[in-house]
Structure 1
Amino acid sequence: MNSWKDNIRTVEPYVPGEQPKDTNVIKLNTNENPYGPSGKVNEVKLDMNNLRKYPDAKVSALVNKLAEYHNIKPEQVFVGVGSDDVISMCFMTFFNSDKPIFFPDVTYSFYDVWADVYRIPYEQKKLDENFNIVKEDYMAENGGIIFPNPNAPTGILVDTDFIEDIVKANPASVVIIDEAYIDFGGKSVLPLIDKYDNLLVVRTFSKSRSMAGLRIGYAMGNSELIKYLNDVKYSVNSYTMNTPSIIYGSAIIDDEEYFRSTLDKIISTRERFVGELKRLGFNVLPSKANFVFASHKSVDANVIFETLKEKKVYVRHWNAPRISDYLRITIGTDEEMDKLISLLEDICCATK
């Protein structure tokens, strides 16, 4: 006997980092910015009466601001509800070949979920023993390529020449570089979008812009790529971005000084924290993100994870192949990291 369940699209969903209800915690598990957004948002006057109307489907105010900021044309910018929404649209729009798309085996764990949801064949290319992307693995025939730079959860950055070699070798595929963490010490490949019509660069306001709660992401590429993205967006949901996000997102771009100052603080804290982790016996991968990926030489990662959680400090741990010995730790304020260091000293000494 047939069942309605026969027609269900079943997938193994993405598991986001835990969002504790208790606000009296140190939350270092989802790579949020420890510093609030620019004070510019407090200067914005939001007319609540406007909320009765649909937002601008073209998101013109924010698109124009982003285009001006990045010195590109508005028709080269696509905006979505966080970079997750943007990348999901990219999978739906560009990855429709019967050839597999390529992404690393250790990377952002939403990629294989989207591939499964949209029934896209894929191959996960194994990082080398030091968790580096192997460029040559992306030179084979494929239906598209995506990876973060810096990679997540490793934090490891590749240079622009490395990426250009991959883009150049794949003229028949769209290559998407997810630059969610690029502002924390990397160099963007954005200048290459005018040289290669198959390159798309994705960014987010959730990390370096301190606006994870408003869900703003965007992609930049040649105008034809952006047109195809918008065609799909308007076929799914024309009004994806709400009015407050458009208004506040546009305002925050104007405060470059605050933006740079918070980046400098996070980078400085990261470098100091890496030194402390090494002192405590951790192996730390070289990070250019707002987090570090570290494993202790003798203490089990899950023991550290659970003990920290009991002490109301949240970090991220995956019980997954190759990375079960590692913890991903978001960089918080200096005070938060000092508290974490103190706890780690106790944990590591107690378990020796």
Structure 2
Amino acid sequence: MGWEEKVRRVVPYIPGEQPKQKGIIKLNTNECPYPPSPLVKRKAAEFRTDELRLYPDPDASLLVKSLADYYGVKEDQIFVGVGSDDVLAMSFLTFFNSDRPVLFPDITYSFYDVWAELFQIPYRCPALDEDFRLKKEDYLSENGGIVIPNPNAPTGLYEELDTIEEIVASNPDSVVIIDEAYVDFGGRSALELVDKYENLLVVQTFSKSRAMAGIRIGFAAGSSKLICYLKDVKFSFNSYTMNAPSIAWGAASILDDGYFKETVGKIINTRERVKKELSALGFVFPDSSSNFIFASHKSIPASELFEALKQEGIYVRHFNKPRIDNYLRITIGTDEQMDELLTFLKRYI
């Protein structure tokens, strides 16, 4: 073994498949089916590549100011990173530093336990109830921190803000992270509570509702003290994580609020239509408030449907895990893409 005995070994996170062939319908990674704002396209066309010889602004000031103005918080209450995964990883490293277990649900974003293992953070995963709902009382016991995705992934269920606030208020000695990757598709954001609770950190991403998964932008909002600690860890790790195009194009996306709301509205309308169609085909699913539907068929196994769809060039996500191995997570695409999915399902079922 020798040197291998000293290697830090973890089981890595496995993202959704990224097929290389053309002409497929990709509904497996919750990407936005529409392009980013035209303002982003304009900024990209105007970007001077000779500026890439310079380091980017380590504070990402333009993007931070745009976010602070948009969400009505101070600039020292915003932290940005290379996608929300980067922001969350830094948050785990910064705030979860005790012998008490960090709490997050048993059915949730599967990167949480990877970070906990990587950073050697003790954790416990309270089980969601039979309807995949959070049991509030599970988060009122002693802990080393809490992470709750809202809406949850992969279930798509949103917990009311009153429930979230009670958990935050009941844990003044722990940092509570609310991961809101999908909140723009349904529900109230906990951002409105960050001035009320010093221990609350709200994390969002540009990868879903802002159609910018390929440029990697995420951010957190919280008390200035939380953000200061987060920056200290980040700048101890890497000073220049946000590249210059990300900063400029992210700020442009924030400016185009009309396009943002129009895009989100289209996805929500398509989601609600597809819910009715899937239900008529014999599917059951939690009432999604996200940009995907977590569906199980009453008689056909999810694994069979997954393979049949893949053969047809339609990619969805299947998790071979306890309690959810008979469900498919289906990203909401364009109306045309969803019609092709539904046409195949009608023929197959």
Q: TM-score, normalised by structure 2?
A: 0.99
Deviation track 1:144-197 (CA, whole Å, cap 9, x = no partner) reads 000110000000000110001100110000000000000001110111111100
1:153 equivalent in structure 2: 154
Deviation track 1:119-161 (CA, whole Å, cap 9, x = no partner) reads 0000001000000010000000000000110000000000110
Identical aligned pairs, as a percentage?
Answer: 60
Distance 1:224 1:161 in 2: 24
Amino acid across the alignment from 1:25:
I
1:81 equivalent in structure 2: 82
Q: 1:347 offset after TM fit, Å?
A: 1.9
Structure 1 stretches lacking a partner, 5+ long: none
Distance 1:215 1:156 in 2: 25
Assess if the C-alpha contact under 8 Å between 1:63 and 1:79 holds in 2. Answer: yes
Matches within 5 A, 1:277-288: 277-288=278-289
Distance 1:220 1:118 in 2: 23
Deviation track 1:78-136 (CA, whole Å, cap 9, x = no partner) reads 00000000000000000001100000000000000000000000000100000001000
2:270 equivalent in structure 1: 269
Deviation track 1:257-277 (CA, whole Å, cap 9, x = no partner) reads 111111111000000000010
Deviation track 1:9-32 (CA, whole Å, cap 9, x = no partner) reads 001110100000012100000000
1:127 equivalent in structure 2: 128
Assess if the C-alpha contact under 8 Å between 1:135 and 1:162 holds in 2. Answer: yes
Amino acid across the alignment from 2:309:
L
1:331 equivalent in structure 2: 332
Distance 1:329 1:196 in 2: 35
Amino acid across the alignment from 1:13:
P
RMSD: 0.6
Q: Secondary structure at the match of 1:226?
A: helix
4+ residue runs of structure 1 moved beyond 6 angstroms?
Answer: none
Amino acid across the alignment from 1:283:
V
Structure 2 stretches lacking a partner, 5+ long: none
2:16 equivalent in structure 1: 17
Amino acid across the alignment from 1:10:
R
Q: Secondary structure at the match of 2:79?
A: strand
Distance 1:42 1:126 in 2: 44
Distance 1:15 1:43 in 2: 34
2:183 equivalent in structure 1: 182
Q: Secondary structure at the match of 2:97?
A: coil
1:8 equivalent in structure 2: 7
Distance 1:297 1:51 in 2: 54
Q: 1:41 offset after TM fit, Å?
A: 1.4
Assess if the C-alpha contact under 8 Å between 1:127 and 1:134 holds in 2. Answer: yes
Deviation track 1:254-300 (CA, whole Å, cap 9, x = no partner) reads 11111111111100000000001000000011100000001000001
Amino acid across the alignment from 1:173:
S
Q: 1:42 offset after TM fit, Å?
A: 2.3
Amino acid across the alignment from 1:53:
L
Distance 1:238 1:151 in 2: 31
Q: Secondary structure at the match of 2:194?
A: helix
Amino acid across the alignment from 1:341:
L
Amino acid across the alignment from 1:212:
A
Amino acid across the alignment from 2:24:
V
How many pairs align?
347
Distance 1:240 1:120 in 2: 24
Q: Secondary structure at the match of 2:284?
A: strand
Distance 1:41 1:64 in 2: 17
Matches within 5 A, 1:1-352: 3-44=2-43, 45-348=46-349
Amino acid across the alignment from 1:3:
G
Distance 2:59 2:256 in 1: 24
